[in-house]
Every structure is written in C-alpha cells, then in structure tokens.
C-alpha cells in the first residue's frame, strides 16, 4: 500500500457499514479519502476519529445524493479543484427495496437502478476521465458487488436487487475490457461479499426489524472490516496483477 500514500480515493456510501470501514482503512494507510453520502454527519464523526487516532491520511466528508447525476458531477468537479482528481474509485453505495418482480413498485425498482447501477457507472466514467486527463496509468476502480450478483436468492424481496447486482458483475467485466482496449494499466475489480453484518438488512427490512435481526443471528457473518481488508488486499496487489472478481462469504453461508 506504500505507493498509495497521499493519493486520492473516493468512497461512495461512506457513512456506515462497509463504506465507513473502507474509508477508515484507506485513511489508516495514508490516503486522502473523499467519503460521500446523503448525510455526512457520521462521516464527519469518523473523520475526527481518524484524526484523533493519528492516522497518516485524511478523510474529507462530501454530501452527495448519488441518485442525482448533477450532484455526482458537481462532486467530481470539487474533487478536481481541491484535490486534483481521483486515483482510486470505490463504488460502494447500494441499496435494496422489498419490491418483488410481480407486485413491486416502479419507484423502488428505479431507485435501485439509479444508485446500484447508474451512479456506479457515472462515478466510474468520471473517475476514469479524471485519471486520463492527469495521465494516471495505475488507478483502480473497485465495485463493491454482492454474491447476489452471481446467483439469484430464493426470495421475492431480493430478485430485483439481484438483477442490479448481476449488472454490476457485467459492468465490471465491461470496464476491464474497455480499459484494456484503451491500453491503460488502470485496473477494475469486483468484490462480492455474502452476508455482512451492517445496517443493510435493517434498512432493507425496515418494516420488520425482527426479520433483519434474524438474518445476522443465523450464522457468524462477515464484518464490514473483512471487506475493507479485501479492498486493501486488492489495492496492494502488484501493478501487473488484475484481480477481477473476489467472492467472499461466511463459512456457514449455504449459497
């Protein structure tokens, strides 16, 4: 990770869970991390914790609604002005709504596409532009995917969500191919966790907190820090090594 010290990483959805753990880990490694979310209160608190801990990097909170392209473009413009640009883009933000395919609301489907698919694609495009205009040839784009992007869960509440994560799997491979065609050494990686104990299930099953709690009580789940460790592992791989898809799940998880 030595070569990343002082360089700029963008982490989307950095206020809680995996995003917060990744932001902390990268700051600890000496990176300048722009952490974005719709509400930055928790990111500001995390930034203060990182500073108090004496980490060599810095965490810069940025308020951004990723379902709004104009806000994303404004964020990248601000990063260019204040920090020159993005060297590492961690597309972590994602959400799920209980909207089955046969009875779900279009609004919920659209929101999942906006955040899980379009925001990821827009951030990737803008990060690549930032790297290209500064002749950065060793940047990295990391998409936090899901095992739901590799098999369809037998639960109607998850089907549309899985479809958006299958899109992330395809997008990551498409990005890798386009980067090769562009003769760049910028890398693209997809990290696909199984069940991770975060606030995700409680947000997903917001009307049934007992159901959410049961998800995490059924086994020893992955922790957000496990995913953060995977991110630093991917970033620390030698420049000639392309880690395309890293799948990880609890030992006790069946599928």
Using DSSP's 3-state secondary structure scheme, residue 120 falls into: helix
Q: Look at residues 225, 238, 171, 218 and name the one whose alpha carbon lies nearest to residue 193.
A: 225
Q: What is the pLDDT of residue 231?
A: 98
Q: What is the pLDDT of residue 210?
A: 79
Of the candidates 55, 62, 128, 161, the residue annotated as catalytic is 161
Domain boundaries, the chain: 2-191+223-246
Question: What superfamily does domain 2-191+223-246 belong to in CATH?
Answer: NAD(P)-binding Rossmann-like Domain (3.40.50.720)
pTM score of the predicted model: 0.95
List for the chain the helix, strand, coil content (%; round to 5).
Answer: 50, 15, 35
Q: What is the pLDDT of residue 254?
A: 80
Confirm whether 161 is a catalytic residue.
yes
Q: Look at residues 76, 95, 114, 90 and name the one whose alpha carbon lies nearest to residue 20.
A: 90
Q: Which tens digits make up the pLDDT trace of 101-140? A: 999 999 999 999 999 999 999 999 999 999 999 999 999 9
- CA within 13 Å, CB half, 92: 28
Q: Which tens digits make up the pLDDT trace of 195-224? A: 999 877 777 666 677 777 887 888 899 999
Percent of all residues in the chain with a pLDDT value above 90, rounded to a whole number = 89
Q: What is the pLDDT of residue 215?
A: 77
């Amino acid at each position: 990770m030595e070569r990343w010290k002082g360089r700029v990483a963008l982490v989307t959805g950095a206020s809680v869970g995996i995003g917060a753990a990744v932001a902390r880990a990268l700051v600890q490694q000496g990176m300048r991390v722009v952490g974005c979310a719709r509400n930055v209160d928790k990111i500001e608190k995390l930034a203060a914790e990182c500073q108090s801990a004496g980490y060599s990097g810095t965490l810069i909170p940025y308020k951004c609604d990723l379902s709004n392209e104009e806000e994303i473009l404004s964020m990248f413009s601000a990063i260019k002005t204040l920090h020159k640009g993005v060297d590492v883009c961690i597309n972590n933000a994602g959400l799920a709504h209980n909207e089955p395919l046969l009875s779900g609301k279009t609004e919920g489907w659209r929101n999942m596409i906006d955040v899980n698919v379009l925001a990821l694609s827009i951030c990737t495009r803008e990060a690549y532009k930032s790297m290209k205009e500064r002749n950065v040839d060793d940047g990295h784009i990391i998409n936090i995917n899901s095992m739901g992007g590799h098999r369809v869960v037998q639960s109607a509440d998850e089907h549309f969500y899985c479809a958006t994560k299958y899109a992330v799997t395809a997008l990551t491979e498409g990005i890798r191919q386009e980067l090769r065609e562009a003769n760049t050494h910028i890398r693209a990686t997809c990290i696909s966790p199984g069940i991770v104990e975060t606030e995700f299930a409680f947000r997903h099953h917001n009307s049934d907190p007992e159901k959410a709690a049961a998800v995490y009580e059924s086994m020893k789940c992955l922790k957000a820090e496990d995913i953060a460790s995977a991110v630093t592992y991917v970033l620390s791989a030698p420049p000639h090594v392309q880690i395309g898809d890293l799948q990880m799940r609890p030992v006790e998880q069946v599928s």
